[in-house]
Amino acid sequence: MKKLLKVLGGLLGVVVIGICGLLIYVRTALPNVDPAPDLKIELKDDRIQRGEYLANTVFACVDCHSDKDYTKFGLTIKEGTKGKGGALFGSKMGLPGDYYAKNLTPYYLGDWTDGEIFRAITTGVDKEGNALFPIMPYTNYRRVDKEDIYDIIAYLRTLEPIEYDVPESSSNFPMNFIINTIPGEPDFTERPDPSDKIAYGKYLVTAASCADCHTPMEQGNPIEGMQFAGGMEFELKSGGVVTSANITPDINTGIGSWTEEAFITRFKSFQDTSNVINKNVVKPGEFNTEMPWRFYSNMSEEELSAIYAFLKTQSPVNNMITKFRKEE
pLDDT along the chain (328 residues), means of 10: 54 52 50 93 98 97 94 86 95 88 98 98 97 96 98 98 97 94 96 98 98 88 94 89 96 98 95 59 88 94 98 98 86
Amino acid (one-letter) located at 195: S
Distance CA 103, CA 166 (A): 7
Please, how many CA atoms are within 13 Å of residue 281, restricted to the half-sphere of its CB? 1
Beta-bridge mates of residue 88: 100
Instruction: Examine the domain organization and report whether 240 and 315 are in the same domain.
Output: yes
Residue-range definition of the domain harbouring residue 122: 37-190
Last residue of a domain, one of 167, 190, 213: 190
Instruction: Examine the domain organization and report whether 216 and 166 are in the same domain.
Output: no
For residue 214, the surrounding DSSP H or E stretch is helix 210-214
Cα dihedral: 193, 55, 213, 238 (round 10): -150
Instruction: Examine the domain organization and report whether 66 and 159 are in the same domain.
Output: yes
Instruction: Examine the domain organization and report whether 221 and 172 are in the same domain.
Output: no
Contact of 62 with 82, CB cutoff 8 Å: yes
Question: What per-residue confidence (pLDDT) applies to 67?
Answer: 96
Say if 229 falls within a structural domain: yes
Question: What per-residue confidence (pLDDT) applies to 271?
Answer: 85
Last residue of a domain, one of 160, 190, 220: 190
Instruction: Examine the domain organization and report whether 256 and 157 are in the same domain.
Output: no
- When computed from its CA atoms, the radius of gyration of the chain, rounded to whole angstroms, is 22
Say if 223 falls within a structural domain: yes
Instruction: Examine the domain organization and report whether 168 and 227 are in the same domain.
Output: no
Compute the C-alpha angle 95/67/268, nearest 5°.
95
Question: What per-residue confidence (pLDDT) applies to 93?
Answer: 76
Say if 265 falls within a structural domain: yes
What are the CA-CA distances from residue 247 to residues 142, 196, 258, 317 (Å)? Answer: 24, 21, 10, 9
Instruction: Examine the domain organization and report whether 133 and 200 are in the same domain.
Output: no
Say if 3 falls within a structural domain: no
* Residue 220, C-beta contacts closer than 8 angstroms, at least 6 positions apart: 96
Contact of 299 with 66, CB cutoff 8 Å: no
Instruction: Examine the domain organization and report whether 233 and 149 are in the same domain.
Output: no
